[in-house]
Amino acid sequence: MAALPEEPALPSRPPAAPRNRRRVYLDEWREVPVYDLDEVAPGQMVAGPAIVETATTTALLRPGERATVTPLGWLDIRLPL
């Protein structure tokens, strides 16, 4: 049986800065950075509180949570212990 084709890894690029800030309520109102997932570099870590979004998805990272972009462009979200 033939193997399925592998998804190509994203090209290397410099870490992305937040594209803007947004007010969110996390036990109190806060201004948090908003990142465009399509611009965040593979291996780049985003620490919460923050928002990471694309045209079809929005991820809210709460305080203490961290997300790292995988080589394929997915978010690997780590919750505090």
Number of domains the chain contains? 1
Which residue range is the domain that position 36 belongs to? 20-78
pLDDT digits (tens), the chain, 81 positions: 788 788 888 888 999 999 999 999 999 999 999 999 999 999 999 999 999 999 999 999 999 999 999 999 999 999 988
In a domain, 49, yes or no: yes
Structure tokens at 30: 């806060």
pTM of the predicted protein model? 0.87
In a domain, 42, yes or no: yes
Span 4-21, pLDDT tens digits: 788 888 888 999 999 999
Quick one: which of 71, 72, 74, 70 has its CA closest to 54? Answer: 74
Q: For 9-73, give the DSSP string.
A: PPPP-PPPPPSEEEEEESSSEEEEEEEETTTSPTT-EEESSEEEE-SS-EEEEPTT-EEEE-TTS
- Please tell me the predicted confidence (pLDDT) of residue 5: 81
In a domain, 9, yes or no: no
In a domain, 71, yes or no: yes
- Please tell me the predicted confidence (pLDDT) of residue 2: 82
In a domain, 31, yes or no: yes
In a domain, 55, yes or no: yes
